[in-house]
Structure 1
């Protein structure tokens, strides 16, 4: 397996680009790349050329997360202005605005069926679940404090929730916190199941394997990438190679590889059989906040693409084979 640099777009945004995800193809158009930036805008890019399709405004502070509905019809962006904006991908028409108190929105993701949007609740130490039919809040999953003789008031700030990931069957939701713990929930019962431990610093990104609902990957400021059996509560593998914080992780649609982006300015490709980095890409000149593999389309094609975004304001596109 390998990555080949295809295209880089410098100054894709006016400021740091902190978020990227692919909007699935629809009957009328191919997949698009969605990016969010501290310049308060969200942009949509054509997949192969990285040509700008549209610029969306509507936030009054930087955009920290973007999410695409599995239908490819709608998407959401979350900003430091404490709002989540849900919009029509093709027209930019606003569908809903979800309000959260300051610092209550970090990462978010639609569930595989598209019925629920999970939003990492930042300082509230919870994950909020929104119904995508009514845009009503349907649940708030609170992260339990770590067990100890005297939980201090300070421990709650450590539970600041940064990242969320749905299992491919939609039954589990994992979230990563500032203190390095990962919490796993049974979504149907809105019930906390257990913590996954092993990281010593913030867990900024999580993703489940598309081929095994038990396998969860995590990226942390402790420079490590972990692979867990999220049901058995066990650490299956710890992968190291980055020399600084690992800010993002994504898994290839075939489940054979993961890609990571780091503040060491590199993108790395990891072979999961070997549990080792097989390639390092140095396209960016500043920390890499997001990596995202293009999803499989209805016809089974997925085009073998990976995108990365960075504080250097650029987007890079790679071929994956």
Structure 2
């Protein structure tokens, strides 16, 4: 497995770029890229050439997360202004505006079928689930305090929720918190199942394996990447190599590799069978806030793609093979 630099766009935004996701291809167009920035905008890019297709405004504070529906038709952006804007990718028309008081929202993801949008609720120590047919709130999942935490942690700051990930079947939802704990929920029953422990600093990124349904990967400010058996509640592996916070992570579509972005300004590619980093890319000059593999199924294109975004305002695109 290997990464090769393809294209970098400097000054892609006017401020730090904190969020990136792929927009799956549709019958009428190839895949696109969405980026979100502290400049309050969301930009849409043609994927391989990184040609700007459109700029979406509508938030009054920085955009910290972007997510795309599996259909590739609609997407969502979350901002520090406590709003989630759902919009049509082609026309930029606003489909829904979701309000998430009393605190800002952080990461969000659509479930595999596209019927539910999960939004990490930041300081509210909860995850909100929204019905994508009606855009009504289904339920608010409150993250319980781990039994092992100290009584002095009752302030709730440790339960600040940063990241979310859906299991492959959409039945379970994992969310990562500021205190390093990961909470797993049964979505249909809106029931907390258990915590996964092992990190001691914020868990900023989570992803389930596309080939091992029980395996959950996590990335943390403690500079470690963990592998969990999310149902067996056990830590099955740990990887380290970054010299600072691991801010972002994604699993390759074939499930054999992991990409991470760090505040050490690098993107690393990890071989999951070896549980070791096999390549380090240094195209960014500042913290790497987002990495994402292109989803499979691109017509007429064999090569994989990885994208990364950074505080240096740039977007880098890599060939993954």
| 3-state DSSP of counterpart to 2:157 | helix
| Matched-pair contact (CA < 8 Å) for 1:296–1:302 | no
Matched, 1:146 2:146: yes
Structure 1: gaps of 5 or more residues? none
What CA deviation, in whole Å up to 9, does each residue of 1:110-143 have, x standing for no partner? Answer: 0000000000011111100000000000011111
2:234 and 2:155 map into 1 onto residues whose CA distance is: 24
Matched, 1:31 2:11: no
| TM-score normalised by structure 1 residue count | 0.97
| Matched-pair contact (CA < 8 Å) for 1:40–1:61 | yes
Give 1:58-97 correspondences, 5 Å limit: 58-97=58-97
| Matched-pair contact (CA < 8 Å) for 1:295–1:302 | no
| TM-score normalised by structure 2 residue count | 0.97
Residues 140-149 or 15-24, more deviating: 140-149
Change (3 A) 1:136 1:167: same
Shift of 1:104: 3.4
Shift of 1:185: 0.6
1:102 and 1:56 map into 2 onto residues whose CA distance is: 25
Matched, 1:99 2:99: yes
Matched, 1:232 2:236: no
2:149 and 2:65 map into 1 onto residues whose CA distance is: 36
Structure 2: gaps of 5 or more residues? none
| Match in the other structure for 2:297 | 297
1:37 and 1:142 map into 2 onto residues whose CA distance is: 28
Give 1:160-199 correspondences, 5 Å limit: 160-199=160-199
Matched, 1:14 2:14: yes
* RMSD, matched Cα: 1.4
Residues 253-262 or 100-109, more deviating: 100-109
2:220 and 2:230 map into 1 onto residues whose CA distance is: 16
Change (3 A) 1:237 1:131: same
| Match in the other structure for 1:215 | 215
Runs of 4+ in 1 over 6 A off after TM superposition: none
2:136 and 2:110 map into 1 onto residues whose CA distance is: 14
| 3-state DSSP of counterpart to 2:151 | coil
| Match in the other structure for 1:247 | 247
Shift of 1:297: 2.1
Change (3 A) 1:302 1:156: farther
1:75 and 1:150 map into 2 onto residues whose CA distance is: 39
1:289 and 1:153 map into 2 onto residues whose CA distance is: 27
| Match in the other structure for 2:157 | 157
